[in-house]
Amino acid sequence: MRVAVFSSKPYDREFLDLANQRHGHELSYFDVRLAPQTAALADGYRAVCAFVNDCLDARVLEQLAAGGTRLLALRSAGFNHVDLQAAARLGMTVARVPAYSPHAVAEHAVALVLGLNRMTHRAYNRVREGNFALDGLLGFDLHGKTVGVIGTGKIGLIFAQIMHGFGCRVLASDPQPSEEAPPWLEYVALEQLFGESDIISLHCPLTPQTDHLIDAAAIARMKPGVMLINTGRGRVVDTRAVIAGLKSGRIGRLGLDVYEEEEHLFFQDLSQRVIDDDLFMRLTTFHNVLITGHQAFFTREALENIAETTLANISAFDSGKGELHRVGSERLA
């Protein structure tokens, strides 16, 4: 089957080409993002393969459908960037990779916790400059602290498990508590989680209910000096509100792998350009903020699984046989 692969980086090509030896599809790689201006590249391709910052709104889907596309094969678990109603109206199937490596994302969230706690990003630069002073690097023992996990699906549960291993008390909030939750995991109301957690980590999807879940009112209910970690989706956090929270000291440390306007920034080398996103640039000025550019998923194991499941989805759609991880029963509203 002919597949137009958008936002494809060298590492995507490497892993997709390897997995495709077992599937034999005709893959055309485009390094540009899918957008109204680039959708015409997919003319004549029955399948379009897209990533998290590709635009899959109604306008783009209509362009793709007119060009003959019938399958959207997402290389991601999240599908908040797809207009599912438009896809259904246009008779398009949307497939995703439901779980490629929840360990990769949970472990990266822990890396942000550890890095921020001991300020390893500052220590690294200091030591390189011959500055061995410890002022400003003071951390705290994780042992005995309270961690709040918002969203206890595949990733949130693994994150909770790791933090439990450090000797933390772990609170959780989820409208659908997990049946696999261990007995030490305490489901509490969001209010209590905000009020008692020293560290809060976001592992819920972006939905109308979680859009700006972390806003000024939520931050006001958190413990002074709280550490906030977001590896979920950027828009779960109101960036202006966290900047105000950092300025007031209510937020003591902030770790982000996702950002609400990231599609204009992440996955590209912009080091030769002037970045005109003032909110993002303000975030980078805080010594107690650690930002990574949506790399939580980026492990060898995850890329292998993404490539294999994506191509298996395309094969299943093409042949009508095998498992197709269709987005359909899930609803965003």
Q: Verify whether residue 262 is a known catalytic residue.
A: yes
Which tokens is 116 given? Answer: 């921020």
* CB 102, min distance to ligand NAI, A: 5
The one catalytic residue among 262, 263, 308, 325: 262
Whether the Cβ atoms of residue 118 and residue 140 lie closer than 8 Å to each other? no
Given 23, 81, 203, 233, the catalytic residue: 233
Sheet containing strand 199-202, edge to edge, reads 186-187, 169-173, 146-150, 199-202, 226-230, 251-256, 289-291
> How near is the Cβ of 134 to ligand NAI at its closest, in Å?
32
Q: Is 268 exposed, middle or buried (0-12, 13-18, 19+ CB in 10 A)?
A: middle
Our CB check for ligand NAI shows the closer of 209 and 248 to be 209
Minimal distance in Å, beta carbon 209 to ligand NAI?
4
Give whichever of 110 and 150 is closer to ligand NAI, judged by the CB atom: 150
CB closest to ligand NAI, residue no: 153
> Least CB distance from residue 150 to ligand NAI, whole Å?
5
Q: Which is nearer to ligand NAI, 207 or 268 (CB)?
A: 207
Binding region for ligand NAI (CB under 6 A): 77-78, 99, 102, 105, 150-156, 173-176, 203-207, 209-210, 231-233, 257-258, 294, 296-297
- Catalytic residue among 203, 294, 308, 325, which? 294
Beta strands 146-150 and 169-173 are: parallel
Please confirm, yes or no, whether 240 is among the known catalytic residues: no
26 close to 3: Cβ distance less than 8 angstroms: yes
Report residue 156 as tokens: 């949130």
- Do 100 and 305 form a contact (C-beta atoms < 8 A)? yes
Task: Determine whether 301 is an active site residue.
Answer: no
The torsion angles phi and psi of 142, rounded to 5 degrees, stand at -70, -35
What is the token pair recorded at 151?
Answer: 């969203």
Nearer to ligand NAI by Cβ, of 173 and 197: the residue is: 173
CB 333 within 8 A of CB 146: no
**Residues identified as active-site:** 233, 262, 294
